[in-house]
């Protein structure tokens, strides 16, 4: 009798652990909500409305980003079907088009803003007054750098210590400006262009910030708090049929990974990514990875729970991704992981954008 009771307890513990493991939040990333802006960074108002309606009709729980960050940081449970809505840059269409739609559904959202483009009244940006108004209406206002710079790039002749001081000042000055205008101080930082490296992650961590990238995947207990994933929603990725799959995605149970630095150096343009997983709720043989620009590739399993994936050809200068997905044994949905890479030109310079 004791043996049977013990087995029952172990089974229940295993199921509860799997349930906790699968808990995750899907963070959506938007830029423009407009018919008249570049498609690569835009959803149309009709698409945005359709996506919000889908969330409402299918009982998704839309919560502020700060709530999810707090749950991950403190290992608190995250309800199934949790979604977070974020916007980068502070475009006028967010204030004029997206915000009224979100009000209609009662959905909270987070707006990552760069200070200079808004204060200088660059074309297409909301005004500083509009930003403060959205803040008073409940929007979370968070940090996207001072001028939307490529932060990992050093200036000509700049040393590593000089770069650290300049970058740290950029981030802290931006946070102070947001705090002064809105009273908010979330210490949540979205990397401009989704670019980060280990040195920038160290700056973020040392100053008590959480970092968010633009690599895809669900955010949960296995995510790094200096590189939380978000699903970009724009262009070809704005179609609701494919977005539905992402909205149901799960946090890949990554126990460790190498390399940890996303910046490629010294001609290593075909990085080998090695992941160790908790495989209790996945089918390893069904894991499939995708190399951006190179297509699907099966991972090489090094042991029962460790695999590697490597590009067949050099990744191009700029930003690239490795994506890996695998179905859950117990839940409807796919575990999803994305590794961001950023590389300079062969001579160490950076391509202009």
Is residue 36 located within the same domain as residue 137? yes
End-of-domain residue from the set 248, 272, 297 = 248
Is residue 292 located within the same domain as residue 264? yes
pLDDT of residue 152: 98
End-of-domain residue from the set 201, 222, 248 = 248
Q: Is residue 19 part of a domain?
A: no
Q: Is residue 351 part of a domain?
A: no
Q: What are the Cα distances from residue 73, in Å, to 187, 217, 228, 349?
A: 13, 18, 12, 37
Listed residue (246, 244, 148) closest to 195, CA to CA: 148
Is residue 150 located within the same domain as residue 62? yes
Is residue 121 located within the same domain as residue 61? yes
Is residue 60 located within the same domain as residue 89? yes
Is residue 74 located within the same domain as residue 178? yes
pLDDT tens digits for 33-42? 999 999 999 9
**Residue carrying the six token digits 């915000």:** 99
pLDDT of residue 96: 97
**With 80 as the cut, is the pLDDT of residue 2 above it?**
no
**With 80 as the cut, is the pLDDT of residue 11 above it?**
no
Is residue 179 located within the same domain as residue 302? no
**With 60 as the cut, is the pLDDT of residue 82 above it?**
yes
Q: Is residue 13 part of a domain?
A: no
**Residue 334 belongs to domain spanning:** 256-343
**With 80 as the cut, is the pLDDT of residue 14 above it?**
no
In this prediction, residue 19 has a pLDDT band, given cuts at 50, 70 and 90, of: very low
- Of 12-26, 181-195, 263-277, give the lowest mean pLDDT range: 12-26
Mean pLDDT for 95-124 is 97
Is residue 209 located within the same domain as residue 76? yes
Exposure class string for 60-89: b at 16+ Cβ within 10 A, else e: bebbbbbbbbebbeeeeebebbbbbbbbbb
CATH code of the domain covering residue 301? 2.60.40.10
Relative to beta strand 295-297, strand 32-33 is unpaired
In this prediction, residue 9 has a pLDDT band, given cuts at 50, 70 and 90, of: very low
**With 70 as the cut, is the pLDDT of residue 21 above it?**
no
**Residue carrying the six token digits 């790039």:** 153
Q: Tell me if 320 sits within 8 A of 120, measured CB to CB.
A: no
Is residue 244 located within the same domain as residue 260? no
Relative to beta strand 295-297, strand 288-291 is antiparallel
Is residue 74 located within the same domain as residue 182? yes
Q: Is residue 6 part of a domain?
A: no
In this prediction, residue 23 has a pLDDT band, given cuts at 50, 70 and 90, of: confident
pLDDT of residue 22: 52
Using CA atoms, how far apart are residues 166 and 168, in angstroms rounded to an integer? 6
First vs last C-alpha separation in the chain: 69
pLDDT of residue 352: 87
Q: Is residue 194 part of a domain?
A: yes
In this prediction, residue 246 has a pLDDT band, given cuts at 50, 70 and 90, of: very high
CATH code of the domain covering residue 191? 3.20.20.370
Number of domains in the chain: 2
**Count of other CB atoms within 10 angstroms of residue 190:** 28
Average pLDDT, the chain: 93
Mean pLDDT for 119-130 is 95
pLDDT of residue 25: 98
Q: Is residue 311 part of a domain?
A: yes
pLDDT tens digits for 317-352? 999 999 999 999 999 899 999 999 999 999 999 988
Q: What are the Cα distances from residue 21, in Å, to 8, 64, 116, 334?
A: 20, 21, 41, 13
Is residue 40 located within the same domain as residue 186? yes
Tokens of 46: 């009709």
End-of-domain residue from the set 248, 275, 300 = 248
Q: Is residue 11 part of a domain?
A: no
Q: Tell me if 63 sits within 8 A of 84, measured CB to CB.
A: yes
Q: Is residue 16 part of a domain?
A: no
For residue 62, the SS3 value is strand
pLDDT of residue 161: 98
In this prediction, residue 1 has a pLDDT band, given cuts at 50, 70 and 90, of: very low
pLDDT of residue 173: 98
Mean pLDDT for 211-217 is 98
Q: Tell me if 335 sits within 8 A of 288, measured CB to CB.
A: no
**With 60 as the cut, is the pLDDT of residue 12 above it?**
no
Beta bridge partners of 210: 188
Helix axes 198-206, 160-182, angle to 10 degrees: 50
pLDDT of residue 353: 82
**With 50 as the cut, is the pLDDT of residue 16 above it?**
no
pLDDT of residue 85: 98
Is residue 59 located within the same domain as residue 40? yes
DSSP tag of 94: I
For residue 47, the SS3 value is helix
| Helix (H), strand (E), coil (C) string for 304-333 | CCEEEEECCCCCCCEEEEEEEEEEECCCCC
């Amino acid at each position: 009798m004791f043996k049977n009771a013990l087995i029952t307890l172990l089974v229940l513990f295993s199921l509860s652990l799997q349930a906790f493991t699968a808990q995750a939040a899907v963070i959506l990333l938007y830029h423009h909500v407009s018919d008249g802006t570049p498609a690569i960074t835009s959803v149309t108002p009709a698409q945005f409305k359709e996506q919000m309606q889908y969330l409402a009709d299918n009982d998704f729980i839309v919560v502020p980003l700060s709530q999810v960050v707090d749950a991950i940081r403190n290992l608190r449970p995250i309800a199934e079907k949790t979604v977070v809505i974020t916007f980068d840059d502070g475009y006028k269409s967010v204030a004029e088009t997206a915000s009224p739609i979100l009000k209609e559904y009662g959905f909270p959202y987070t707006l990552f803003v760069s200070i200079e483009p808004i204060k200088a009244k660059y074309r297409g940006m909301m005004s500083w007054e509009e930003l403060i108004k959205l803040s008073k209406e409940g929007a979370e206002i968070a940090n996207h750098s001072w001028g939307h710079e490529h932060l990992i790039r050093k200036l000509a002749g700049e040393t590593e210590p000089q770069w650290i001081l300049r970058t740290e000042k950029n981030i802290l000055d931006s946070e102070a400006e947001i705090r002064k205008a809105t009273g908010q101080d979330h210490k949540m930082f979205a990397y401009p262009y989704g670019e980060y490296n280990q040195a920038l992650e160290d700056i973020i961590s040392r100053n008590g910030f959480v970092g968010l990238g633009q690599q895809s995947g669900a955010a949960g207990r296995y995510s790094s708090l200096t590189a939380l994933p978000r699903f970009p929603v724009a262009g070809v990725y704005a179609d609701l049929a494919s977005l539905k799959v992402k909205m149901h995605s799960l946090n890949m149970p990554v126990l460790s990974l190498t390399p940890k630095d996303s910046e490629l150096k010294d001609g290593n343009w075909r990085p080998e990514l090695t992941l160790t997983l908790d495989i209790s709720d996945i089918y390893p043989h069904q894991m499939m990875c995708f190399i951006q620009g190179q297509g699907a590739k099966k991972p090489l399993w090094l042991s029962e729970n460790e695999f590697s994936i490597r590009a067949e050809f050099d990744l191009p200068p700029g930003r690239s991704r490795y994506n890996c997905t695998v179905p859950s044994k117990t839940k409807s949905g796919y575990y999803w992981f994305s590794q961001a890479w950023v590389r300079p030109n062969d001579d160490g310079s950076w391509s202009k954008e």
